[in-house]
């Protein structure tokens, strides 16, 4: 497939990401304790994330993108939007951090944790940060796949993992 050289009349400049700019990859074994600490938690019933691969023409230079991981607990309603269950905002049942005005305009400061169990929240946060860090992109792509230019949704329960792949036509 030939990639376009312009978009609405504006020239497109393409380059490959230099190897020095890529995130250092870590082995899957480094993710295991974070994954298992959330998997064994009796209150967290499921968690997951989405991951998207680069477009076929960019596969050599682009990296996997992991969407915000989400965490469902026994207290969460089944019909909630998965983004509402991410840790980007205070989670409905895990709590989290809000941000308030800082010492100068346009600067925000993280406010203290608010919620029922900070240790549980911190375990989920560590896993979320690891998944989104880029450090496990290779391991995630090898484990859960995903078509080039497509997306994969991964859902983890204690007894199974479901992977749904969607290729963009």
Q: Whole-angstrom Cα distance, residue 66 to residue 51?
A: 4
Distance in angstroms (rounded) separating the CA atoms of residues 140 and 103: 40
Statement: residue 60 has pLDDT above 60: no
Task: Give me the chain's average pLDDT, please.
Answer: 84
pLDDT at 148: 64
DSSP, residue by residue, 94-140: TBB--EEE-SSTT-EEEPPPBSS-HHHHHHHHHHHHHHHTSTTHHHH
Which H or E run includes 33? helix 28-39
Q: In the chain, what percentage of residues exceed pLDDT 90?
A: 46
**What average pLDDT score do residues 152-161 get?**
92
Average pLDDT over residues 19-48: 89
Q: Give residue-wise pLDDT tens across range 73-105.
A: 999 977 678 989 999 889 999 999 988 887 777
Q: How far apart are CA 34 and CA 138, in angstroms?
A: 17
pLDDT range class, residue 64, cuts 50, 70, 90: confident
């Amino acid at each position: 497939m030939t990639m376009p050289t312009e978009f609405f009349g504006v020239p497109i400049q393409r380059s490959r990401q230099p190897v020095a700019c890529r995130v250092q990859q870590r082995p899957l074994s480094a993710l295991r304790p974070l994954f298992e600490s959330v998997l064994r938690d009796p209150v967290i019933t499921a968690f997951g994330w989405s991951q998207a691969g680069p477009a076929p023409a960019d596969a050599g230079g682009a990296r996997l993108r992991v969407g915000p991981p989400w965490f469902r607990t026994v207290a969460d309603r089944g019909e909630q939007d998965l983004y509402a269950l991410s840790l980007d905002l205070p989670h409905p049942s895990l709590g989290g951090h809000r941000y308030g005005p800082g010492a100068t305009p346009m600067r925000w400061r993280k406010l203290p944790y608010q919620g029922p169990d900070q240790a549980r929240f911190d375990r989920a946060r560590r896993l979320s940060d690891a998944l989104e860090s880029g450090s496990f992109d290779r391991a995630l792509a090898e484990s859960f796949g995903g078509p080039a230019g497509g997306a994969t949704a991964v859902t983890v329960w204690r007894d199974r993992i479901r992977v749904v792949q969607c290729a963009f036509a």
